[in-house]
Amino acid sequence: MDDCIFCKIINGEISSTKVYEDENFLVIKDINPVAPVHDLVLYKRHIRNLNELTNEHEDFSKIFEVIKKVAELEKISNGYRVVVNNGEEAGQEINHIHFHVIGGRKLGKIA
Ligand code: 5GP
Ligand code: ZN
């Protein structure tokens, strides 16, 4: 999508720090991390959020394997948080589906 920051990162128009990539996902460091590890798992296809997932996106479910792999690469497998801000009221700022993987310190209670 033309005006989407994450599409621009995925196609290389905007630079990012890559953690992992495969055919369906690009994982990058968040530009404004809230913990020592704060990565963003970007789905390579532009959909807004979980509400737009359909059975055309069956490859999306592989995100859970990617998250596990990222935790291993980042050495946080003993504890990390996976966050999805789904929609405006949940604080979603970028309307391209992505999961946050956060860890590397003791995390407080959620919300
Ligand atoms: P959301 O609130 O949409 O779930 O999270 C968007 C995340 O993207 C935020 O944590 C923000 O710091 C991160 N972000 C915004 N712009 C950029 C960027 O240009 N590069 C990277 N690496 N992260 C970004
Ligand atoms: Zn996009």
Q: Which two tokens stand for residue 105?
A: 């310190």
- Is 100 one of the annotated active-site residues of the chain? no
Structural domain boundaries in the chain: 5-103
Which residue's CA lies nearest to atom 8 of ligand 1?
30
**pLDDT for the residue numbered 103:** 98
- Read off φ and ψ for residue 67, nearest 5 degrees: -60, -45
**Superfamily of chain region 5-103:** HIT-like (3.30.428.10)
Identify the band that residue 110 occupies on the pLDDT scale cut at 50, 70 and 90: confident
Return contacts of 17-22, CB within 8 angstroms, 24+ apart: 19/70, 19/73, 19/74, 20/66, 20/69, 20/70, 20/73, 22/66
Helix (H) / strand (E) element for 100: namely strand 98-103
Each residue of 4-32: pLDDT tens digit? 999 999 999 999 999 999 999 999 999 99
- Mutational test site, ligand 1, from 83, 85, 93, max ligand atoms within 8 Å of CB: 93
**pLDDT for the residue numbered 2:** 84
Ligand 1 atom nearest to CA at 83: 4
In DSSP terms, 6 is beta-bridged to none
Q: Please determine, for residue 43, whether its predicted confidence score (pLDDT) is greater than 90.
A: yes
Each residue of 45-104: pLDDT tens digit? 999 999 999 999 999 999 999 999 999 999 999 999 999 999 999 999 999 999 999 999
